[in-house]
Amino acid sequence: MLRTIFTLFLFYYPLVMGIIWITGSMIYYFKKERNFKHPIFRDDELPFISLLIPAFNEEQTIEETVRYASNIDYPNFEIIVINDGSNDKTISILQSILPLYPKLRVVNVVNNKGKANALKQGLLVSKGEYIATIDSDAILDKKALRYIIPHFITPHNGERVGAVTGNPRIRNRTSLISKIQLVEYASIIGLIKRTQRILGKVMTVSGVFVVFRKKALLDAGMWDTDLITDDIGVTWKLQKKFWDVRYEPKALCWMLVPETIRGIWKQRLRWTQGGIEVILRHKDIFLDRRQRRLFPVYIEQVLSILWAIIWFASVLLALFKFIFLHSFVLPTLWIGNYLSLICLMQFFVALLIEKNYEKNILIYLLWAIWYPLIYWHINALLVIAALPKGLKILKKDKPQYATWESPDRGLHL
């Protein structure tokens, strides 16, 4: 009986969620995206923005990021790079380019204390009422801020908006792994965020590019320096304080992704651990009925973790039968066939929507077939590996600094 329940859960959970993501994203697209015209503001009506770029050992990318950030199409902004105890040439590069970029300011944190702490230091010295944060390998689309800022300053519900997250795009596309991630980002980031906006709450802003209202950040207590993922943690803190978190698909930001299995594993292990930490930290939402719109997001995350655990156990059982009982029929094979089809449908819908922002993106659907074959297994294994790390947060007597490492930026570097 229990085995039947687990088998049904393995099949129906991703099937139902895939249908929900597809349906929700289409509702969002036709209702809020397809014919939506952003309000146009004069340059003198646009608020001052502080653009924060935390950096740790980014000697290969930091100058390029600053150069592109300095040339965005926005009238009033400053750039603050926070060097978080780098032990390479990052700080010397920043000092050498300071005279070239009048909008650039540099904050040097002597010891590496993590991205969240670096962002806090940048916020404390910032001048803007709005805080944009981008990763140190990211290139903003020239009009990205012009698409995001109207969410904050339009009369209808603008004052409730605490954060607006942008639309990450993959820059490096020469390897199979990077092409798979391109499709994944369109589906995971695009479809899910659109659907979550329809439901009312989102799991996380995209840490690679997001704009905050400074007042909202201060009200929520800023970023948690002891969590390994700053973006997930601050999203939940903002929403628990009833600030609105939105998604702006037209605000593009180009980023680099890992192109090795080792790089992918390290990056996703951190993401998975961060998700588990946030779920454990904010389990008290069920004690407050006012937080009920967060319940579906929380429950879905718990179910996704449970699915990975059951999948891992079922694979181990199948391997045991194959090796010791000579049973060649894998019980999860029929499940994989159906779910792979749903996965590809999800990717097709995602790329069809994203085609509005990148004309030739549909061709990358050819590489999507590798996702259910490779990534599903990696992601499930990541949950198993991240659980012990994430559970450690329950044993912390006092907050500690969650330090970071510069991630794999791709083979071309």
> Which range of residues forms the domain containing residue 173?
38-190+202-266
Cβ count near 66 (within 10 Å) = 25
Tell me if 83 is assigned to some domain.
Answer: yes
pLDDT at position 338: 66
278 assigned to some structural domain: no
Q: Distance of CA 167 to CAs 220, 272, 353, Å? A: 24, 20, 12
The rounded distance, in Å, linking the Cα atoms of 374 and 380 is 10
Phi then psi for residue 123, to 5 deg, are -65, -40
Residue 409 is assigned to a structural domain of this protein: no
Q: What is the pLDDT of residue 401?
A: 67
Residue tagged 């969650």 (tokens):
402
Residues in the chain: 413
Q: What is the CATH number of the domain that holds 142?
A: 3.90.550.10
| Chain segment 202-220, per-residue pLDDT in tens | 888 888 899 999 999 999 9
For residue 161, list its beta bridge partners.
244
Amino acid at 357: Y
DSSP 332: T
Domain for residue 292, yes or no? Answer: no
CA dist., res. 273 & res. 11, Å (int):
25
pLDDT tens-digit readout, 329-374: 554 555 556 667 778 888 888 888 988 888 888 888 877 777 766 6
The Cα–Cα gap between 303 and 393 comes to 20
pLDDT above 70 as % of the chain:
89
The DSSP H or E segment spanning 81 is strand 77-84
Residues of the chain with pLDDT under 50: 331
C-alpha to C-alpha distance for 379 and 305, rounded to whole angstroms: 10
Residue 185 is assigned to a structural domain of this protein: yes
Q: Which among 281, 219, 278, 259 is positioned nearest to 409, based on CA atoms?
A: 259
Q: Is residue 140 within 8 Å of 148, Cβ to Cβ?
A: no
- Give me the number of domains the chain comprises: 1
173 domain-assigned: yes
Q: Are strands 49-55 and 77-84 parallel, antiparallel or unpaired?
A: parallel
The per-residue pLDDT for range 15-34, each reduced to its tens digit, is: 888 889 899 999 999 988 88
Query: According to the model, what pLDDT value does residue 106 have?
Result: 93
Q: Is residue 352 part of a domain?
A: no
* Nearest alpha carbon to residue 142 among 71, 42, 212, 210: 71
Specify the pTM: 0.88
Please measure the distance between the N-terminal and C-terminal CA atoms of the chain and give it in whole angstroms.
52
pLDDT at 49: 96
Question: Is residue 110 domain-resident?
Answer: yes
The Cα 215–Cα 241 span in angstroms is 12
